[in-house]
Structure 1
Amino acid sequence: MSARFEGLVAVVTGGASGIGAAIADLLAEEGARVAVLDIDDPKNQHSWHKCDVADSASVNSAVQSTVNQFGRLDIVVNNAGIGAQGNVADNSDEEWTRSWEINVAGMARVARAALPHLKKSNAASITNMASIASTAGLQQRALYSATKGAVLALTRAMAADHVREGIRVNCVAPGTADTPWVGRLLQQADDPAAERLALEARQPHGRLVSAEEVARAVAYLADPANRSSVGVCLPVDGGMEALRLRPQQ
């Protein structure tokens, strides 16, 4: 595997587990020096800077600590986020505020702290984590879908604002992925095995998306060789957004 990120520094928010950990691992394998910004210690080979994306002071400190450690910043992956279940009447005001502060405003805080450093890089990129919920109506995901739809809109606005500064902004939109969070949701179901089969069947390729597949999409968008990929929302959903298959006979 070529070291396409050799000499570059990346921060991955929410990189302690799941998709974030897979992204951090892949960027490091391909040459980047990686800082994980997370509340939890990833307990792996990456540098860890404790960070709560809902708190500006925490974000500013973590980003500056990363630059102090590595001397530069080139790649930002805004992956930190939380889930929410239920229809529009099922979540409290407090839960709406919490989800917005982490899933949307958290990305803005990280980008804001990173921008002065990214402007100095000739390989600058920001990749935000959107979702199939950004573009498709999913049952029992009203709050989560609202935040992820905002991530898609934010990504395109950021891309327009910063493309002439040499900073490419894109997002990845995974389908239902095989992550610890989805695993916890399955365990709460009355019949976890049946619920998993239903989630797999919802995606045209018939299975959950792997964290590694999402990581490869992030790496593509972060690759400085792909300078014409700007304002892109890259689905990694087994065809869920675009395909309409006839029922199997």
Structure 2
Amino acid sequence: MDLNLKGKVAVITGASAGIGLAVAEGLAAEGVCVLINGRRADKVKEACDKIGALAVPAVGDVSTLEGVAAVIEAAEKAGGADILINNAGTGSNETIMEAGDEKWQAYWDLHVMAAIRLSRGLVPHMEKKGAGIVLNTGSICAAQPLWYEPIYNVTKAALMMFSRTLATEVVGKNIRVNCVNPGLVQTPDWENTARELTADKGGDWQGYLQEVAEEHAPINRFCSPQELADFYVFLCSDRASYSIGSTYYVDGGMKMTV
């Protein structure tokens, strides 16, 4: 199926591993020039080398003004963004009563302000080109929170609302904005956590992940990053031209409410 994406430019934050890297690989397979963002230059280079000629490094910590500016500059050098995927993020672990302002601010800057700042910087590129796509990586936790990561829950919920609000603002400019709320995705972060938690219990990290899947997801397994990436690639294409301002749950049935 021709998705009519060849020749476009996509900026993907948090793209040196996990979901972001899988999305970058999926878009590059369709002929998209992908700007690989990450905080570590060595990890970004590894990802670019893996993808090949269509990958361009865009190193920067997008939770900072300087990092956002570096990504925008890289996009301008690449001819301007057609697609922006705000994917940079990480889980948390705290209680509301004990977490200090600094931790709240750090997650707000990474999950919300990064998306706002990059949208402000890159949507004008899309306006000049006459069309564009913005996809934001939320989480099922935005609607079905896990008790141990309240900051993650709150900031992902804010990102979901930002997506809906921006969609209304730019739909008249032929720019489509949507949010994807994944459930359990077997990223390197999940695998590393499982290894740590099982290190003194026999090291069966795969078994631990299976237990997590059976507890939370009716499908009884994790999603692979590549499996999720296919959905992102579709949303970036003309095949999803009527998809605007929506939040899509890709969670194997994990969400228990309508």
Scaled by the length of structure 1, the TM-score of the pair is 0.91
Q: Conserved in 1, the CA contact under 8 Å of 2:107 and 2:155? A: yes
1:102 to 92, 95, 110: 110
Q: Deviations over 1:202-243 (max 9, x none)?
A: 101000111112211111211133221001111111011157
Kindly report the root-mean-square deviation, in angstroms, between the aligned alpha carbons of the 2 structures: 1.9
Preserved contact between residue 213 and residue 236 of structure 1 (Cα < 8 Å): no
Q: 1:193 to 1:15 in 2, by over 3 A?
A: closer
The structure carrying a bigger helix percent of its residues is 2
Q: Mark the CA change 1:187 to 1:94 in structure 2 (over 3 Å): closer, same or farther.
A: farther
**Contact 2:3 / 2:237 at 8 angstroms: preserved in 1?**
no
Equivalent position SS for 1:225: helix
Partner of 1:38: 38
Q: CA deviation at 1:139?
A: 2.6
Counterpart position of 2:210: 197
- Asked if structure 2 preserves the Cα contact closer than 8 Å seen for 1:16 and 1:36, the reply is yes
Q: How many residues align?
A: 243
Whether 1:121 and 2:134 are equivalent positions in the alignment is no
Q: Which consecutive unaligned segments of at least 5 residues does structure 2 have?
A: none
Q: State which drifts further: 193-202 or 118-127.
A: 193-202
What is the DSSP-based 3-state SS (H/G/I as helix, E as strand, rest coil) of the residue aligned with 2:189? helix
Which of 172, 179, 189 lines up with 2:187 in the alignment? 179
Amino acid at match of 1:161: E
| 1:79-125 Cα shifts (integer Å, max 9, x gaps) | 01121023323433221111111011111111111021011223401
Contact kept, 8 Å, 1:9 with 1:32, in 2: the verdict is: yes
Cα 1:61–1:137 change in 2 (3 A) is closer
TM-score, structure 2 length as denominator? 0.88
Identity of aligned residues (%): 30
CA contact (8 A) 1:172 1:214 kept: no
Other-structure match for 1:228:
242
Correspondence for 2:165 among 157, 160, 163: 157
More displaced 10-residue stretch of structure 1: 35-44 or 140-149: 35-44
CA contact (8 A) 1:217 1:234 kept: no
The whole-number CA distance in structure 2 between the counterparts of 1:231 and 1:205 is: 27
User: Does the 8 Å contact 1:11/1:34 carry over to 2?
Assistant: yes
With 51-60 and 23-32 compared, the bigger mean Cα shift is at: 51-60
Q: 1:47 aligns with which of 37, 50, 56?
A: 56
User: Counterpart of 1:79?
Assistant: 87
- Structure 1, residues 137-186: CA drift from partner, whole Å, max 9, x if none? 22312111111111111110111111111111001111011001112322
Counterpart position of 2:9:
9
The corresponding residue for 2:25 is 25
Does the 8 A contact of 1:12 with 1:34 survive in 2? Answer: yes
How far does residue 60 in structure 1 lie from its aligned partner after superposition? Answer: 2.1
Instruction: Quote the offset at 1:13 in angstroms.
Output: 0.5
**Distance (whole Å) between structure 1 residues aligned to residue 195 and residue 165 of structure 2:** 38
Contact 2:217–2:254 at 8 Å: present in 1 too? yes
Question: Residue 247 of structure 1 aligns with which residue?
Answer: none
Task: Write the mapping of 1:204-215 to structure 2, written as runs, cut at 5 A.
Answer: 204-215=218-229
4+ long deviations beyond 3 Å: 190-195
AA of the residue aligned to 1:116: P
Aligned-partner Cα distance in 1 for 2:100–2:207: 29
The answer to whether residue 248 in structure 2 is matched with residue 240 in structure 1 is no
User: Residue 3 of structure 1 contacts residue 31 of structure 1 at CA under 8 Å; is this kept in 2?
Assistant: no
SS of residue paired to 1:220: helix
SS in 1 for 2:238: coil
